[in-house]
C-alpha cells in the first residue's frame, strides 16, 4: 500500500509545482485531481513493473485497490481513475494527463461541464452509462483551448 500512496502524493506535488511554475494559483478540484492522480499513478506503476520486475505484481495490486474505491462512495473520484485507465489506450492516457497538466490553474469551477462532472463522478459506478458520460465530460473539460 505504501508505494501506491507515495506515487499518488508525488503526482499531487508535481501537479502543484507545475501550477506554481506557470504562476497560477493551485485550484485543487478534488473530483478531477484525485481521478487524474490515480490515473497517473497507474501509468507510472505500469512502467515501474517493467523495470524492477518484483516478485509480485505491483500494478495488479494497485489497480485492484483503486477499482474497489468505486464501491466506496466518498472515494468514488479516486476509483474513477481506474475506469479511465481501463477505458483509454496508452496514447489516450498520456494525452489526458498532458491535457490536465496544461490546464492546471485554468479550470473554471463555475463552468457547467465542471459542475456536472463534479456532481456525477460520485455516481459513476452506480448508474449505468454514467462513467462513460463522466469520461466525455472530463475530456471536454481538459481539452486544450485555442489561444
- CB closer to Zn ion, 29 vs 133: 29
**Contact pattern from residue 17 through residue 36 relative to Zn ion, giving x for each residue in contact according to CB under 5 A and a dash for the rest:** -----------------x--
The CB-of-147 to Zn ion minimum distance in angstroms stands at 30
Secondary structure in 3-state letters for the chain: CHHHHHHHHHHHHHHHHHHHHCCCCCCCCHHHHHHHHHHHHHHHHHHHHHHHCCCCCHHHHHHHHHHHHHHCHHHHHHHHHHHHHHHCCHHHHHHHHHHHHHHCCCCCCCCHHHHHHHHHHHHCCCCCCHHHHHHHHHHHHHCCCCC
- CB closer to Zn ion, 34 vs 69: 34
Query: For residues 32-61, which are near Zn ion according to CB under 5 A?
Result: 34
Number of residues in contact with Zn ion under rule CB under 5 A: 1
The CB-of-38 to Zn ion minimum distance in angstroms stands at 8
- CB closer to Zn ion, 105 vs 133: 105
C-alpha cell at 58: 505491483
The CB-of-69 to Zn ion minimum distance in angstroms stands at 11
The CB-of-129 to Zn ion minimum distance in angstroms stands at 26
- CB closer to Zn ion, 31 vs 131: 31
d(CA 15, CA 37): 9
Which residues in this chain contact Zn ion in the complex, by CB under 5 A?
34
Amino acid at each position: 500500500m505504501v508505494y501506491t500512496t507515495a506515487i499518488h502524493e508525488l503526482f499531487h506535488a508535481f501537479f502543484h509545482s507545475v501550477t506554481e511554475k506557470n504562476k497560477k494559483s493551485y485550484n485543487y478540484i478534488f473530483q478531477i485531481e484525485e481521478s487524474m492522480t490515480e490515473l497517473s499513478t497507474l501509468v507510472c506503476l505500469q512502467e515501474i513493473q517493467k523495470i524492477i520486475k518484483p516478485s509480485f505484481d505491483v500494478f495488479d495490486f494497485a489497480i485492484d485497490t483503486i477499482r474497489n474505491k468505486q464501491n466506496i462512495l466518498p472515494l468514488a473520484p479516486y476509483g474513477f481513475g481506474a475506469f479511465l485507465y481501463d477505458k483509454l489506450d496508452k496514447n489516450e492516457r498520456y494525452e489526458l494527463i498532458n491535457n490536465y497538466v496544461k490546464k492546471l490553474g485554468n479550470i473554471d469551477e463555475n463552468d457547467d461541464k465542471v459542475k456536472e462532472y463534479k456532481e456525477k463522478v460520485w455516481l459513476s459506478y452506480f448508474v449505468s452509462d454514467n462513467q462513460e458520460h463522466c469520461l466525455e465530460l472530463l475530456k471536454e473539460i481538459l481539452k486544450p483551448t485555442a489561444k
